């Protein structure tokens, strides 16, 4: 795989076993089944093309569950800058679909002092994403 630049250690990078469109559909279905809501699905490639630039297929999905996120924001209002959760699905130079997700166990807990029991519902996202791209 080509080198795509630096990324924080808190970013979980997954390779999907599925094509780009199938990966997006599977993720949306898995989120809905888990009780999460997709708040926005931004086509960053289309935005780039809209200003005359090119970009690999890239979609930013904002998602979450008020039931899981509200206690985090109630515990520390600054943590709201990390919510809703987000992931980027992108296509690499070889045509493989990739997913990047910032692991909240490495951000919300240590950076915002969110107690483990408050953070627990959000930590389930990693397993959900891993299962979805397999």
CB 72 within 8 A of CB 114: yes
Q: How many degrees, rounded to 5, is the angle at CA 123 between CA 97 and CA 126?
A: 20
Residue pLDDT, tens place only, 103-125 = 988 889 899 999 999 999 999 99
CB 10 within 8 A of CB 102: yes
Q: Write down all domains in the chain, each with its CATH number in brackets.
A: 17-133 (3.30.310.70)
Residue pLDDT, tens place only, 76-108 = 999 999 999 999 999 999 999 999 999 988 889
pTM above 0.75, yes or no: yes
Residue 71 — left, alpha, or beta (φ > 0 → left; ψ -120 to 50 → alpha)?
alpha
Q: How far does CA 131 lie from the centroid of its chain?
A: 14
User: Using CA atoms in the order 90, 81, 36, 89, what is the torsion angle rounded to 10 degrees?
Assistant: 0
């Amino acid at each position: 795989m080509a080198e795509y630049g630096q990324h924080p250690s808190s970013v979980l990078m997954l390779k999907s076993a599925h094509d780009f469109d199938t990966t997006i559909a599977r993720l949306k279905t898995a989120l809905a089944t888990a009780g999460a809501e997709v708040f926005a699905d931004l086509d960053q490639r289309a935005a780039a093309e809209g200003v005359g630039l090119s970009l690999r297929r890239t979609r930013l999905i904002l998602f979450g569950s008020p039931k899981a996120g509200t206690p985090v924001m109630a515990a520390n209002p600054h943590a709201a800058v990390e919510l809703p959760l987000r992931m980027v699905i992108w296509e690499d130079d070889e045509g493989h679909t990739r997913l990047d997700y910032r692991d909240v166990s490495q951000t919300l807990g240590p950076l915002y002092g969110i107690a483990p029991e408050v953070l627990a519902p959000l930590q389930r996202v990693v397993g959900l994403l891993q299962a979805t791209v397999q």
